[in-house]
Amino acid sequence: MDIQQLRYFLVNSQKLNYTKAAEQLFISRQALSKAIHELEKELGATLFIRDGGKLQLTPLGQQLSANAISVIDSFAELEFSIQNWTRQKKSRLAVAIGLGSLNVLYPRLFTDFQKKNPEISLSLEECSDQEVRERVESEQVNMGILSCSFKKILKFDSCLIQQGQIYLQVSKDNALATKDYIELSDLKEQPFISLGKECDMHDLFVEKCSEEGFTPNFIMITKDSNLANNMVLRNQGISFGHIQTLSMAANPSIRMIPLQIKDATWGTYIISEKGVERHPSAQMLIRYLSAANKYLDAHI
């Protein structure tokens, strides 16, 4: 006897009608009749008889019906407790990710990872690059993802998951659009749109421009990447970009040109607290992102 057979029997004992009981159970009348017949065969006794055309319970059927409710209720409680325990045991992985890093890493990678690893509850929070470091340091998250220069993360354990290159979005109508690469000296008089100090790319850019002897001409500091893109389209300025953005959008009015900066390392890193062993789910995400990005980069 299994719990499904017992449930089928209980409903039929209450309805005393195979057709109505089958409808309540959302199964066919034949399936219900077969299940009860197999139960009777297993018990070696009849549970239902017909008296004057009406379905009636046998003495054994009456006894089984009287005890079935408590058994089914107890089984339901057991199922609920097991499911609740399983939910509580689901591995939680909280990740803080810097502004713009989702574009670098292809956003769909995170949804694909979640689908392939349903036992892991992945939580992503996009925030400024500095906030990512603060959240990792204060243990608010398990790990952080940053596109930055290596010197910005020396106090953390880090793993490079993608070697970086800084790109600039340039309108095809801008004189710089014909260049294969842009040097800092090319940008002395160029109007520039940036995410500001929220982004490590901004800080590195300002630092290196200062070393070249000039201050960038920021005409707009904004957190709205769409606004920055639209201004580039109208040739109102130059902005930072990601090569993946160009590959996905393929806008013929914008060129994505690498920015050549001397003595600057740039990449996308996963960071965690120094000297603290990473959780197995974090290790899984690191391996997944590293492998997936190598494949995708090779097929851009």
Architecture of domain 3-88 in CATH? Orthogonal Bundle (1.10)
Q: Which CATH superfamily is domain 91-163+266-298 in?
A: Periplasmic binding protein-like II (3.40.190.10)
Prediction pTM value: 0.59
Tokens 């719990």 sit on residue: 3
Q: Please state the domain extents for the chain.
A: 3-88, 91-163+266-298, 167-260
Q: Would 3-88 and 91-163+266-298 be classified into the same CATH topology? A: no
pLDDT of residue 149: 86
Q: Walk along the chain (300 residues) and give the pLDDT tens digit of each residue.
A: 788 888 999 999 999 999 999 999 889 999 999 999 999 998 889 999 988 888 999 999 999 988 888 888 887 777 777 666 555 556 788 999 987 777 667 667 888 888 888 888 888 888 888 899 999 999 899 999 998 888 889 999 998 888 777 889 999 999 999 999 999 999 998 999 998 877 888 888 999 999 999 999 999 998 777 888 889 989 999 998 865 444 444 568 889 899 998 877 788 899 999 988 887 888 888 888 878 765 445 434
Instruction: List the CATH code of the domain at 167-260.
Output: 3.40.190.10
